[in-house]
Structure 1
């Protein structure tokens, strides 16, 4: 449709619109995603527009592109074993137009070179004649093309001064079964008679072509050209009356063709606008569809990501639960051993008290000096260690039995007053026998007590357990609990319920 509209605009001189639609052909092909070799039809249209505008350089450049791309398309189809007839006929058209332009511009040798390329195309089509289109070319269509090229070569050889070859090719055209019937072949025959100045034969062949009955449509561009040719011929023969009559008919037909082209332009333009509207609607729908697909992909991706995160969370939760159960069993086992050990130590202490002998009189100062002098340093150190252990056990028993650690206001000084040992010595034996500082030791007692509350007092909140265990606030309790046992108080309580 764009091609017909371009032809109409060229005929009416609307070159800007013709160029715009020619470029739109290229855009449509590019949007379709086809290879660049399919651009040849659009480049051919642009070449015709430039030719009509008088820009011969651009016209030849775009026509050369069209011919080159059409050849590339033929090569691709040969490799894929696709039908070739359609593209061969297009190449014939491009070569014909280019040859005609070169002849008009006086470059006859170049025009002849392209006409010979057209003959090569005829030879390529010859094995394909006699069958249905598009795989083959019908016999009549082939004969018409063959006769036209022969006539074209006859004219160009004559123009280049090779009259013998011109006569040879003219004879081949005359042997064609469609000689004298096909309009294009008659046109070449008439031009040949004009070249050899056989005006009587020219008029004889041209007069039947101006008869309206020879055309399906009386307003035909070829009929207008024949009238123009007859007018020129009559003028050369010195018959001004006949020339004027033919000129008048040529002008009338040109006006009728222009009016028809305008009407056709309006119809094709309306159709083209409607087509553009439909294309825009399709583009909008495609854009909406792409957007919906993108949204679906994003939603599916998010759902898969959420599912993966949930699976990882469930897996992590199970791992943590198993770890907490193992840790809780170890804690309970430790507390059980600790309680048994404390009970055994208490029994030993009571037995020792029951078996203790009466205390002997304290030795005098002089005796103590002598005794101290008799002891070696190792014995003195062992005696000090033994007394430290007794002091620690007494101090530890008092704190545990009276549950002094439950007092959140319990201070270091309060703890030091529980033993006659100096404060430096207390810190030392606490570190030796517990591996902790005094503060760490007290916090451990509080944690052990909180474990009992967590197991036995299910109605207690975590905050209540922390306060009842001697901690100032629940956050400190939870932090110390996690550092010591690797889980939170709530997680430990949960393991006791499972």
Structure 2
């Protein structure tokens, strides 16, 4: 039985382990801490690989061998790169709700910044304000440096500027300026990430400069341009190299410098500084080696009324833009609008009308594409949500089944353990009862042998003159023998209501004298003596193979009720009457006690 129980327990444990063993993933050897970043960088360099990479992300998510927030965050970055801003913002917010992000507030801050930028791109100003509030609360609750609030104040200022609230916008810009300067000072002391802090200040200067230019505050704009130029000169020494990975890429540096030249030239033109305007315009023409920088040059030429000079620049930009797979894009539309303005400037109204019509068609096409793209994104969002909901439901069902199996296995193990313990306990109790019964039988036989030997010794004594005390003692012994006869031959103890006074009356002695005799000979009182006699008789009945009923034995032994008999027997011998009967009738070792007694009494 023990071997079978142990085998059953082992089988249950193995079954439980098999149920909860996770299946090995075929992607387990693909994913590691660097694989996600490496794949994402490949997508940045080769945008056509985006769909394949998203497929890998879904596999990683289904296999569960990568942090959820990292997968969703990377997925959102790819959607943002593809211009699918609805999908991007949904993925960003999903990552923000992950438990790992909630436990790491720094991740929450970075995610809020990504969400704010995506909503700003879609021009959803209410959502921008909502998540800037979340960002500021996260920073305050976790006591992060105040400089982390720069992005929040920066975008709040842009929102206020869009609403036309110039006062609130100026306050936010001033606060953002203070935080950006504080961050730059700290980066300079630390000696790293200086370029990133400078780039934040340059973005801020651009926004403030545009605000001043729109309000025709040219002197203020000129001062901001001086700050812009100072930051650019310092940034020029922090170009990214293999030895300086935290620097600024040279292409971005040239693009920002082109913006500075364009705005400097326009400001000097507004201020009437011809020489300075000519100088910065010359610098701008030297930088017009890329479509973005050439667009800055065209913007300056149009603003300064040089329409004829702007035409070849805009034509080249438009031709380069149309060489792409899709000739209708936001850049082409914007350049077409500028080209129509240039033709109108030289009074070529027919060509201006043609280009304007083309610009209008492009805008309508782009609007339709945008609406269709948003519908497709929403459909994809709903489809993805439905798929994830079904997967979640399946996982919940599987988890519930596994939990049920685990609970059943634990219950089976518990039942088997309890059964095994019960069997062991039962065996130990049976062994103990057999030993106890053997000791009781040996003690009874020993007492009987001693009593018989003493009676034989008394009979062998010769008659001799007795003293008064000896006569008195002999009379007391005779009284006790008569008591024994009444108990063992007439069985007066079978009366449950037998009282010591009734026994004393039958013996012709007083109650006090009877108690004294019993105490002198047996060293016990009458109550214990009566209990001893009844127990001996009950044990004789229990030892008979007739299997008498316990109710009958309790009545014959004078206990009156079975409950009283059970309790008395348990208190005296530490076992139940049934256990004693079973131990006596099934124990062959009890016969050994007779040989031991013969040796003791020989």
For normalisation by structure 2, the TM-score amounts to 0.58
The one of 143, 149, 153 equivalent to 2:260 is 153
CA RMSD of aligned residues (A): 5.1
Deviation of 1:484 after TM superposition, in Å, equals: 0.2
CA distance in 1, matches of 2:391, 2:132: 37
1:183 corresponding residue in structure 2: 291
Q: 1:122 to 1:469 in 2, by over 3 A?
A: farther
Corresponding position: 1:399 with 2:487: yes
1:45 corresponding residue in structure 2: 118
CA distance in 2, matches of 1:468, 1:271: 91
What is the aligned residue count? 440
Deviation of 1:421 after TM superposition, in Å, equals: 1.0
How do residues 222-301 of structure 1 correspond to structure 2 at under 5 angstroms?
A: 222-233=331-342, 246-301=355-410
Q: 1:6 to 1:32 in 2, by over 3 A?
A: farther
Deviation of 1:451 after TM superposition, in Å, equals: 1.9
The one-character-per-residue Cα deviations of 1:43-72 (angstroms, maximum 9, x if unpaired) are 3213434x553898779887815999xxxx
Q: 1:104 to 1:473 in 2, by over 3 A?
A: same
The one-character-per-residue Cα deviations of 1:1-54 (angstroms, maximum 9, x if unpaired) are 8786999899xxxxxxx6x973563124533845436514323213434x5538
Corresponding position: 1:127 with 2:242: yes
Q: 1:414 to 1:56 in 2, by over 3 A?
A: closer
**Gapped regions of structure 1 (runs ≥ 5):** 11-17, 69-89, 130-134, 136-141, 360-374
Q: 1:237 to 1:254 in 2, by over 3 A?
A: same
Q: For the Cα contact (< 8 Å) 1:446–1:470, is it kept in 2?
A: yes
SS at match of 1:456: coil
**Gapped regions of structure 2 (runs ≥ 5):** 1-74, 102-106, 136-149, 156-195, 214-220, 588-602
The one-character-per-residue Cα deviations of 1:152-173 (angstroms, maximum 9, x if unpaired) are 3333454676999998888777
Q: 1:218 to 1:417 in 2, by over 3 A?
A: same
Deviation of 1:259 after TM superposition, in Å, equals: 1.0
CA distance in 1, matches of 2:550, 2:281: 115
CA distance in 1, matches of 2:233, 2:374: 32
How do residues 90-101 of structure 1 correspond to structure 2 at under 5 angstroms?
A: 101=207
For normalisation by structure 1, the TM-score amounts to 0.69
The one of 500, 509, 513 equivalent to 1:421 is 509
2:433 corresponding residue in structure 1: 324
Deviation of 1:221 after TM superposition, in Å, equals: 0.9
Which 10-residue stretch deviates more, 474-483 or 216-225?
216-225
Q: 1:125 to 1:5 in 2, by over 3 A?
A: closer
Structure (1 or 2) with the larger CA radius of gyration: 1
Deviation of 1:431 after TM superposition, in Å, equals: 4.4
1:87 corresponding residue in structure 2: none
How do residues 325-364 of structure 1 correspond to structure 2 at under 5 angstroms?
A: 325-351=434-460, 355=463
Deviation of 1:482 after TM superposition, in Å, equals: 0.6
Deviation of 1:419 after TM superposition, in Å, equals: 1.0
Q: 1:21 to 1:115 in 2, by over 3 A?
A: farther
